[in-house]
Amino acid sequence: MVEKVEKRIKELRNLIDFHNENYYEKDAPLISDFEYDKLMQELIRLEEEYPQFKTMDSPSQRVGGRPLDGFPTVVHTVPMESLNDGFSKEDLLNFDATVRRLLPAGEGQAVEYVVELKIDGLSVALEYENGVFVRGSTRGDGTVGEDVTQNLRTIKTIPLRLKEDIPYLEVRGEVFMPISTFIALNEEREALEQPVFANPRNAAAGSVRQLDSRITAKRGLDIFVFNIQQISGREIHSHKESLDYLKSIGFKVSPTYKIFDNIYDVIGEIERIGESRGQLPFEIDGAVVKINSFTQREVLGSTAKAPRWALAYKYPAEQKKTKLLDIIVQVGRTGVLTPNAVLEPVRIAGSTVGRATLHNIDNIVSKDIRIGDNVIIQKAGDIIPEVVESVKEDRTGREKIFQMPRNCPACSSQVIREEGEAAVRCINPSCPAQLIRNIIHFASRDAMNIDGLGSAIAQQLASSSLVKTGADLYYLTYDQIVGLERMGDKSAKNLLAAIESSKTAGLDRVIYALGIRHVGSKTAKSLAEHFVDMDKLSEATFEELSQIPDVGGIIARSICDFFKNPSTVDIISKLKFAGVDLTYEKTVKDERFAGLTFVLTGTLPTYKRDEAAAIIESFGGKVSGSVSKKTSYVLAGEDAGSKLEKAKTLGIEIINEEAFNSMIR
């Protein structure tokens, strides 16, 4: 039996590796995502049942592991140097002249350059022993980085085992997020009312540095490897040879790298890349020129800051002049009204642009942008078109000053602009422009916790006009949802059961689920504890709300505005009629932990962190995310990290799960 299991595990690993190669390297998938997931789930199940067969190079390691408290540091034995930058043809000619001057007579006349793409991402080092991936780290300051091995394992284009069992290899690569993935991620975050990422580079860097590698695994990251830092067991003599070799043993390298024997052809290649960068599926911020010969690199050496044998050419943001025909206002999924420029179409950075963001009214006023102006536009990060400035000298006097609307374009409700904020916002909970985001938030884990109601189902419910607010979920029928895409008999019954179960979630979760501006889960709980039922909360005055801990003037005003809205009254009525519990019952057994603050760290043997936190709060205690002098106890489990060390330094009492159980008996 055990032999059969071991054989099946090997078969599954080979199958998954084969399909990974076809999908990620050859762009030619042979099976569906569903079939791939079935293979992976079978492998994970068998490895959990037979842990003696689980290895570091198993594809199962890509799904992410338990959260960390922090990242250990890594000292780079070979420094991860930065490159000198060039911005013009003259900079490239000067670089070439310096290289030829520093090389010995004769050798300086035989220089080969390799030109490759400069990917805009996060630089990392990958280490392999006997062909197996053992450690991955960030660049950091070039000398000391962070150990992010667990997160890098989740990137499917990083090989966990090479095609050659080389004794030791350290390579350097650039982790990036494809543009399509970046756009989808920001749309998802906006729908959940989370901060969006400014650009793909920030998204990639933030994803690699997640303490929970399961989040990294969902971010769709990719990598190009571009350098050998250290190698034993093989001799490599040139950069092109190194890239060819890395490609042959399973790494994904730059999609284009060409050799040239003169700087003028190098300049031509850089110009060609610049003209085509708008069509690339990932973001680049330049091209890199490197000496091909490793012998010549050794002769040239490095300065205190960067190697003399390479130059990073940075492309300027391409700008074009066009006419601003109109300004239209769109309502985002968070209720923010965003002015957008309607332009005479113009081609820029590889695509034709007819719309551009104007961000907010303050931006329009400060730049004095008017309808009818000639304007300068560029693509921020080569992705999002934006208006840089108006060309005031081109004005004819017929231009119009723009004003933001006083009512929401989507639902006609009055809009607000809170003090200190640039955004103008619609706070109508029934606004159709915000519908999908509101449904997703309403059903989320910290709100009503309706299992199975994700973004795909929310979009179908909205587009089918079955749901207009979160309250409408409680009036769905089996016949209405069973015909939706991917919603069969069992799925429909499970969703309806989850909706029914959520009726007893309690007042604090309902308050949070309503999506009141500035009201998070903690504030929602404070409100529920204070007012006990929804009617009392909805009738509370600004003065009453302002006196509650965790509620200041801004939050109090937001709550008052929310409950004044007629749509809110309708939603509350629907929730009542559907039988949703709109009361709060504090479940404190006794006050034994009153005045005590706990910090949780590491993995506990039996409790999940949120379970332990709920127990502490049920006894009147508080749970904090950081250790300070005010901390009463640190409840530590396996692999406790920096919080445990800080607790020891401050002399805070440290307890394990056994001691904790004794305290709550």
> Among all residues, which ones are annotated catalytic?
118
State how far the Cα of 35 lies from the Cα of 30, in Å rounded to an integer: 10
Q: Alpha carbon of 194 to those of 17, 187, 189, 573: distances in Å? A: 35, 10, 5, 28
Both tokens assigned to 124? 């990392």
Q: Is residue 41 helix, strand or coil?
A: helix
As a dihedral over the C-alpha atoms of residue 119, residue 246, residue 124, residue 223, rounded to 10 degrees, the angle is 50
Q: Is residue 324 helix, strand or coil?
A: strand
State how far the Cα of 463 lies from the Cα of 454, in Å rounded to an integer: 14
Q: Alpha carbon of 2 to those of 49, 50, 53, 58, 566: distances in Å? A: 11, 9, 10, 18, 66
State how far the Cα of 632 lies from the Cα of 652, in Å rounded to an integer: 7
Q: Alpha carbon of 249 to those of 127, 137, 223, 242, 284: distances in Å? A: 14, 21, 15, 11, 25
Both tokens assigned to 603? 């993995």
Both tokens assigned to 432? 């159709």
**529-533: long-range contacts, CB 8 A cutoff, minimum separation 24:** 529/584, 529/586, 531/584, 532/507, 532/583, 532/584, 533/507, 533/582, 533/583, 533/584
Closest CA to 613 of 626, 631, 628, 598: 598
Output b/e per residue, 509-521; b: 16+ Cβ within 10 A: bbbbbbbbbebee
State how far the Cα of 270 lies from the Cα of 89, in Å rounded to an integer: 10
State how far the Cα of 495 lies from the Cα of 461, in Å rounded to an integer: 12
Locus of tokens 């607010």: 469
One-letter-per-residue 3-state SS of 105-141: CCHHHCCCEEEEEEECCEEEEEEEECCEEEEEEECCC
Let me know: does 427 contact 565? Beta carbons within 8 Å. yes
State how far the Cα of 276 lies from the Cα of 224, in Å rounded to an integer: 19
Query: How does DSSP assign 504-568, residue by residue?
Result: GS-HHHHHHHTT-TT--HHHHHHHHHHH-BHHHHHT--HHHHHTSTT--HHHHHHHHHHHHSHHH
State how far the Cα of 467 lies from the Cα of 487, in Å rounded to an integer: 16
